[in-house]
């Protein structure tokens, strides 16, 4: 059985092209999920249509 440790959160920008290609880029790493969500919400408000922002957990699996 593995323990999962959340080491932080990545703020990721994602878009999908007209031919279905998914393009993503990690913008920053946060220790506090609230900071990640706040910055992602700001980036989303300034972004053009078709670009989204999401916070994804940075996990470490600790196998016993």
For the chain, state the CA radius of gyration. 14
The pLDDT of residue 58 is: 95
Residue 51 has pLDDT above 70, yes or no: yes
The pLDDT of residue 47 is: 95
How far is Cα 60 from Cα 48, in angstroms, rounded to an integer?
33
Q: For the chain, give percent helix, strand, coil, nearest 5.
A: 20, 60, 20
How far from the centroid of its chain's Cα atoms is residue 33's Cα? 10
The pLDDT of residue 63 is: 80
Residue 49 has pLDDT above 60, yes or no: yes
pLDDT digits (tens, 9 = 90+) for 2-37: 799 999 999 999 999 889 999 999 999 999 999 999
Domain count, the chain: 1
Q: How much is the pTM?
A: 0.84
The pLDDT of residue 64 is: 65
Domain that holds residue 18: 2-63
């Amino acid at each position: 059985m593995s323990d999962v440790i959340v080491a932080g959160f990545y703020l990721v920008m994602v878009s999908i092209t007209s031919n279905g290609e998914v393009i993503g880029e990690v913008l920053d790493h946060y220790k506090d999920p609230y900071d990640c969500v706040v910055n992602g919400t700001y980036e989303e408000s300034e972004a053009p249509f078709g670009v989204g922002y999401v916070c994804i957990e940075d996990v470490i699996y600790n196998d016993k």
